[in-house]
Structure 1
Amino acid sequence: MQLSAAIEAYLRELAEVRRLAPATVRAYRSDLADLVTAIGDLSPAEVDIEHLREWSWAGAQQGLARSTLARRTAAVRGLFRWATEEAIIPADPSLRLVTPKRGRTLPHVASTDALRIVLDDLAERASGGDAVGLRDSAVLELLYGAGLRVSELCGLDVDDLDPARRTARVLGKGSKERVVPYGGAAARAVEAYLVRGRPTLSARASDAGAALFLGTRGRRLGPRSVYDLVARTVGPVVGSAAVGPHALRHSAATHLLDGGADLRAVQELLGHASLGTTQIYTHVSSERLKETYRVAHPRA
């Protein structure tokens, strides 16, 4: 068996048995294909630590982000650990491969006042009854109100909402399902969209299906359209044209913690597997507190 064949078998294991997210499998496929390009399609037993170090070093020299280098290392370690467990190779050559330390940057966060202006402006535009305006208002209110990932929002069906309880059933990373609450503003925006906006959009396609949010052609709204909407409306208030839907998720988490929410509750809302992932928002809140102190305290 050559390295390329081993990689395909490993990726099938990740997708079909371990059920990793498709995006993760695609990223690992790209990383491991790059390894084959760099060292050649050797047999797995021929690959040694020097091959792996050279490949890792080449990635660093290309200026790849630390997070990308860390993921590449994880992909290779996973491959050779699996190959060892499957008795394809006698020993794991990746054990001594050092994982680059990941740099952690604080996420973009919009202030509550800035988001209120954006959301109120969208609600005012939607009041005219335009289907796209109604949809856009509901999209942003739900992204912020429930702290959703863009994939979770785009994957919602109408039946995933429970208007009486103001909750949504979402499918998160690793196909993990959770139920999240949303507030009154999101409830009003979604109801207005369902009554006056979605019927107009669904009439534009014969196969609109059960999708909650529809595009201008009547089919399920895609992540790209949501990115464009957020960049156009929220980007200016956080000072970045490259801001995406995650800025609303970051903002929701930070504002909850600023308001006294329990860290564990925020973890459950966001669907984080690890509390450590959620804790980055405590650093954001701390930085905001320090900035307020510097500006407002006479002895700062």
Structure 2
Amino acid sequence: MALKNYSSFPLLEEYLNYLTVIKGRSQNTVIEYRTDVLMFFSFLKEQHNIDGDRYDLAFVDSEFIRSITLNDMYAFISYCQNQKKATAGTRARKIVSIRQFWKYLKTKAKVIDNNVSEELETPKIPKRMPKHLTLEESIRLLIECENNPRDHCIITMFLNCALRLSELTSINIEQVSAESLRIIGKGNKERAIFLTPATKKAISDWLAVRESVSTSALFITKTGKRMTGRAVQDVVKKYLAKAGLDIKTLSTHKLRHTAATLMYQYGKVDIRALQQILGHDSIATTQIYTHVSGEQLERAVNSNPLAGMFGV
């Protein structure tokens, strides 16, 4: 069920404008919500055998929305699981997208009186430790790129500042000061990240060779244009491969996981401080980074005062 050719409908566009202008949601978040909602209504069109061009969703009006039941929503989630093989995490995101749209329809657009999506339960998502590099692997990665000032600066900032890809590509030179980096994160929220000595040196080395061009972007291509997310991803994959690391399971976001994990494991960082560094709204999100290593577990067990009883 391809979505790229599907038309939208007025109520959805009004909602997406609300998310952008009033709620300050990022472009990526708005795109995800739009995709999920369009997929839901496209599914309903097929289920209800509604006539007309398969890509035309103009039939969606207030009356149709009020006819949608909780069973319709569960049927869609079942379709995502069984036909589209969507993971529990993906299904949970689609449920959130539907819930938020229905909440808007009731509280803001006043289209519905009864929000049936409130009864829509999310699937249980298995908790897994986020994939990350070890300290030794991180050092290998940094060594591989040390002869390229720009690429070394990119990877150093990922591993020291725990940045999101979108945050790194959006950095302008004026956001960098002698001691800190000013980041504009999700929801257009601003936060400051203090620079480590390694980060300061990497930035200094890059700026020393960076050409003077019209763009204010910190990271630019050979043609002087701001680097895109894809370009940065290609840089990271290049050096992951050179370091002998798995490019299929590692990514720029895994470098963010790595930075957060190393801060927590080696720096004994308070979780609320880590929350601020990462730019999370909820501390529950930050807690996925606070997994412990096998060595930490072994030390914890052996710290028990009864561990050395009877001369063992």
Q: TM-score range by the shorter chain?
A: 0.7 to 0.9
Matched, 1:55 2:70: no
After TM superposition, the structure 1 = structure 2 runs for residues 152-191 of structure 1, keeping only pairs within 5 Å, are 152-163=167-178, 165=179, 167-191=180-204
Q: 1:21 to 1:288 in 2, by over 3 A?
A: farther
Q: Aligned match of 2:288 in 280, 287, 291?
A: 280
Distance in structure 2 (CA, Å) of the matches to 1:29 and 1:145: 34
After TM superposition, the structure 1 = structure 2 runs for residues 24-43 of structure 1, keeping only pairs within 5 Å, are 24-40=29-45, 41-42=59-60, 43=64
Q: Is the CA contact (8 Å cut-off) linking 1:60 and 1:69 kept in structure 2?
A: yes
Distance in structure 2 (CA, Å) of the matches to 1:229 and 1:15: 31
Query: Which residue of structure 1 lines up, in the alignment, with residue 258 of structure 2?
Result: 251
Q: Aligned match of 2:106 in 81, 84, 98?
A: 84
Distance in structure 2 (CA, Å) of the matches to 1:118 and 1:240: 12
1:31 Cα offset (Å)? 0.7
Distance in structure 2 (CA, Å) of the matches to 1:33 and 1:232: 36
Gapped runs of 5+ residues in structure 2? 1-7, 46-58, 302-312
Q: Which amino acid aligns with 2:259?
A: A
Q: Which amino acid aligns with 2:236?
A: V
Distance in structure 2 (CA, Å) of the matches to 1:25 and 1:83: 16
After TM superposition, the structure 1 = structure 2 runs for residues 140-289 of structure 1, keeping only pairs within 5 Å, are 140-163=155-178, 165=179, 167-196=180-209, 198-199=210-211, 202=212, 208-234=214-240, 238-259=245-266, 260-283=268-291, 285-287=292-294, 289=296
- SS at structure 2 position matched to 1:94: helix
Distance in structure 1 (CA, Å) of the matches to 2:85 and 2:296: 34
Gapped runs of 5+ residues in structure 1? 126-132, 295-300
- SS at structure 1 position matched to 2:25: coil
Q: 1:252 to 1:291 in 2, by over 3 A?
A: farther
Q: Is the CA contact (8 Å cut-off) linking 2:173 and 2:218 kept in structure 1?
A: yes
Quick check: 179-188 or 39-48, which moved more?
39-48
Distance in structure 1 (CA, Å) of the matches to 2:143 and 2:300: 29
Distance in structure 1 (CA, Å) of the matches to 2:166 and 2:176: 16
- How many residues are paired up? 275
Query: Which residue of structure 1 lines up, in the alignment, with residue 117 of structure 2?
Result: 94
Query: Which residue of structure 2 lines up, in the alignment, with residue 113 of structure 1?
Result: 136
Distance in structure 1 (CA, Å) of the matches to 2:79 and 2:91: 10
Matched, 1:103 2:126: yes
Q: Is the CA contact (8 Å cut-off) linking 2:215 and 2:224 kept in structure 1?
A: no
TM-score by length of 1: 0.85
Distance in structure 2 (CA, Å) of the matches to 1:13 and 1:189: 40
Across the aligned residues of Structure 1 and Structure 2, the Cα RMSD in angstroms comes to: 2.2
Distance in structure 2 (CA, Å) of the matches to 1:19 and 1:179: 19
More helix by share: 1
Output one character per residue of 1:149-189: Cα deviation in whole Å (capped at 9) or x when no partner.
Answer: 111111111110012x2x10011111110000121111111
Q: Is the CA contact (8 Å cut-off) linking 1:146 and 1:180 kept in structure 2?
A: yes
